[in-house]
Structure 1
């Protein structure tokens, strides 16, 4: 009887070892394939902060071989029991995964890539409490670039004078000045823009993320000053398609399909500033009308729209920055008080600028977008026809499949400078 029991135990041991080894083999395949296919994987660990231009590699061939040997030893096997096929499979999959991760990861060549500090005047329909929180994140990105020494933020021009009186965006500018120790001025209306241009020691980039009203009024008032001091207008507004298949909510009295919100605020101003002699870098918010779902927005060639999660955007930020974010976002709460970070960090926000601003001082970094030379015509109804007319630079996605995730990486790195 004892002999039979012993033989049964021995046979059960062999069966157990075989199952462990098989399970290990399958587990390694699943882990490797999971790292390759999980869309959020490379967001978790992108940049090695101690090395310039190098990224964290979670799977290395040597580690995989070592782990395989350890598990085999625990199962009572020797290294030779691991077949060459199994070891080669692990090596090849690891190398492919490593390459895929490096292709996805955003290069961090902030030191070696040439930098020309740009003077910037930021024009925004920023309010407090906000209309759309993306304007707050745009402002934070501008302050971050200034903190990084990549732009000289000359002023923030606040759009829509009448609304500013009741909900002044200057409150948020002042708070960011207190947070960072800077003294970036803010002002309301075209005269504030002209004053900022006069005070600038050299040419400036104008970023417009709201109505084009102040810029257009300033240009009409002093076109000579504007043409002398404005290096380019980065215009975040409009739809890349003249007749979008999906309607916009506003501007239907100008166009049957409506107009993108920023354009609808003042269609003639949008049209005339594009027709002016000022150089234009056009970043349409949409390409084909309002985005009906995040996945729908992922496939648009010329629309800057991207959906990002708060936790990822602030993954590298300190607690003071997150506190500012929570206070600004919580201004929308009718019941008062602050949002709880743990409750809202998983929420998503649609954005149109933020990380794209990084291309102003550093155009040569590896982005999931580029700017192409095209000719356009600004139509009286607030739409744009592409293919003839004025030469401009047009935003174009170059990595549509990974656009959202890579924009999260760029923006989280940028916000870490605050």
Structure 2
């Protein structure tokens, strides 16, 4: 039976950070998941051009979701969440515009209608999930199997990016009692440490990640990475595109954090096969060399400043924290495995090449 998944992502077009496109493609490529819906976790300051906003004008990422649904030949339900942080602990966001409450309502509806407890992946802020919990705590306590939380720092007082998007929501989520599988985006050295045992961070060039992937999937990434303003968003996926702009983009590096959570949530491992590093189902990786990864039980609490205080637990615990074998080779292995996953992705029900 497939794993019912709700994916909460700070996905925009043009991208604010294109790692969210790679995360969405990863979810779509993992056949273990039944993707119930995508909830767009946007922040007001990234929707508007400066000086009102952060830099340039963006839209919530409905376009990449629709494009990907077309490539897969399936429906992907999507809705928008609140664009401003929660105002206080227990905030249900009930005073927001109807379109911003749609994401909260979608999450509740999907949990309510699922025949089994769902997994929720959070690769941006905790706003949508926290507001939904504040609105219907009993439903979510009984209906969520695990929260794949990509946020926060495993040590030190660093103000990690996703926490900063909505600190109150992060605090409310940790205090909710929901089962958090915690994949910290930073540690005592910051958010860009490729070697740390608690670190999820790795990076690769676009060229390494997109090498020899199906043509239409490459077009999907190209539409995003070039910030295309073409209105014929589906025809754009049927056309090739090269040239110096695209070649320059392929040489750019992409910072990645959330991949480990999505792979582990699907029950896969990072294993060396005769063909190279791959994301392999756990029951098929027993005789392979694996990059050790685990989720360790912890006792955890959170301060009013949004700092998680945790200790390893020898008892069964509702919260777990990511751990992996140290070493910078992790990034090279993840790069090879993610590229292989994307190369094998099926579009329109069959491989394009």
Query: In the alignment, does 2:219 pair up with 1:323?
Result: yes
Q: Whole-Å Cα distance in 2 between the matches of residues 139 and 291 of structure 1?
A: 21
Quick check: 155-164 or 280-289, which moved more? Answer: 155-164
- TM-score w.r.t. length of structure 2: 0.73
Q: 1:144 aligns with which of 26, 29, 38?
A: 29
Question: How far does residue 397 in structure 1 lie from its aligned partner after superposition?
Answer: 2.0
- CA distance 1:177–1:403, shift in 2 (3 Å): same
Maintained 8 Å contact 1:307/1:349: yes
Quick check: 360-369 or 196-205, which moved more? Answer: 360-369
Maintained 8 Å contact 1:204/1:229: yes
Quick check: 347-356 or 277-286, which moved more? Answer: 347-356
Q: 1:298 aligns with which of 184, 187, 194?
A: 194
Q: Secondary structure of the equivalent of 2:221?
A: helix
Q: Secondary structure of the equivalent of 2:148?
A: strand
- CA distance 1:332–1:377, shift in 2 (3 Å): farther
What 5-or-longer segments of structure 2 have no aligned partner? Answer: 49-57, 82-103, 230-240, 269-281, 347-353
What 5-or-longer segments of structure 1 have no aligned partner? Answer: 1-115, 245-258
Question: How far does residue 269 in structure 1 lie from its aligned partner after superposition?
Answer: 1.3
Maintained 8 Å contact 2:195/2:330: no
Following superposition of structure 1 onto structure 2, how do residues 8-23 of structure 1 map, counting pairs within 5 Å? Answer: none
Q: Whole-Å Cα distance in 2 between the matches of residues 316 and 370 of structure 1?
A: 31
What residue is the counterpart of 1:218 in the other structure?
A: 132
Q: Whole-Å Cα distance in 2 between the matches of residues 345 and 323 of structure 1?
A: 13
Q: Whole-Å Cα distance in 1 between the matches of residues 5 and 291 of structure 2?
A: 21
Q: Whole-Å Cα distance in 2 between the matches of residues 348 and 161 of structure 1?
A: 24
Query: In the alignment, does 2:141 pair up with 1:241?
Result: no
- CA distance 1:226–1:127, shift in 2 (3 Å): same
Following superposition of structure 1 onto structure 2, how do residues 16-415 of structure 1 map, counting pairs within 5 Å? Answer: 117-145=2-30, 149-160=31-42, 162=44, 167-189=59-81, 190-244=104-158, 259-291=159-191, 297-331=193-227, 340-354=245-259, 356-363=261-268, 364=282, 365=285, 366-387=290-311, 391-415=318-342
Question: How far does residue 354 in structure 1 lie from its aligned partner after superposition?
Answer: 2.8
Quick check: 186-195 or 120-129, which moved more? Answer: 186-195
Q: Secondary structure of the equivalent of 2:12?
A: coil
Maintained 8 Å contact 1:237/1:283: yes
Q: Whole-Å Cα distance in 2 between the matches of residues 355 and 322 of structure 1?
A: 22
- CA distance 1:368–1:329, shift in 2 (3 Å): farther
Larger radius of gyration: 1
Q: Which has the higher helix share?
A: 1
- Comparing both chains, which one has the higher relative contact order based on Cα–Cα distances under 8 Å and sequence gaps of 6 or more? 2
Q: Deviations over 1:234-255 (max 9, x none)?
A: 10001111334xxxxxxxxxxx
Q: Whole-Å Cα distance in 2 between the matches of residues 405 and 356 of structure 1?
A: 17
Q: Deviations over 1:122-163 (max 9, x none)?
A: 001111111111111111111111xxx211000001113756
Q: Which has the higher strand share?
A: 2
Maintained 8 Å contact 2:148/2:261: no
Q: Whole-Å Cα distance in 1 between the matches of residues 182 and 68 of structure 2?
A: 28
Number of positions where the alignment pairs a residue of Structure 1 with one of Structure 2: 279
- TM-score w.r.t. length of structure 1: 0.62
Q: Whole-Å Cα distance in 2 between the matches of residues 159 and 291 of structure 1?
A: 21
Tell me how large the CA RMSD over aligned residues is.
2.4
Q: Whole-Å Cα distance in 2 between the matches of residues 327 and 280 of structure 1?
A: 34
Q: Secondary structure of the equivalent of 1:237?
A: coil
- CA distance 1:391–1:199, shift in 2 (3 Å): closer
Maintained 8 Å contact 1:306/1:404: yes
